[in-house]
Amino acid sequence: MDQVIVGKIVNTHGIKGELKVKSSTDFVAERFARGAQLFIDYQGQKMEMTVASYRIHKGHILVTFEGYRDINLVEKYKGCLLYAMKDESLLDENEYYISDIIGCEVYNDGKYIGKVQDVQLYDHHDILVVQGQQKIMIPYVDAFITNEDIEHQRIDVHLIEGFYDED
Report which residue type is found at 98.
I
One digit per residue, the tens of pLDDT, for the chain of length 167 reads: 588 888 999 999 999 999 999 988 888 999 999 999 999 999 999 999 999 999 999 989 999 999 999 999 999 999 999 999 988 777 777 777 777 888 999 999 999 999 999 888 777 888 999 999 889 999 999 999 999 998 899 999 999 888 777 76
Q: How many residues does the chain have?
A: 167
CATH class belonging to 100-156: mainly beta
Q: Residue 75 has what pLDDT? A: 96
Identify the pLDDT of residue 39: 96
Is residue 37 within 8 Å of residue 86, measured between CB atoms?
Answer: no
pLDDT of residue 64: 97
C-alpha angle 47-78-102 in degrees, rounded to nearest 5: 70
The arrangement of strands across the sheet holding 154-157 comes to 135-139, 127-131, 111-120, 105-108, 154-157, 145-149
What confidence score (pLDDT) does residue 1 get? 57
**Delimiting residues of CATH 2.30.30.240 domain(s) in the chain:** 100-156
Provide the pLDDT for residue 45. Answer: 94
- In this prediction, residue 118 carries a pLDDT of 87
Fold of 3-88: Elongation Factor Tu (Ef-tu); domain 3 (2.40.30)
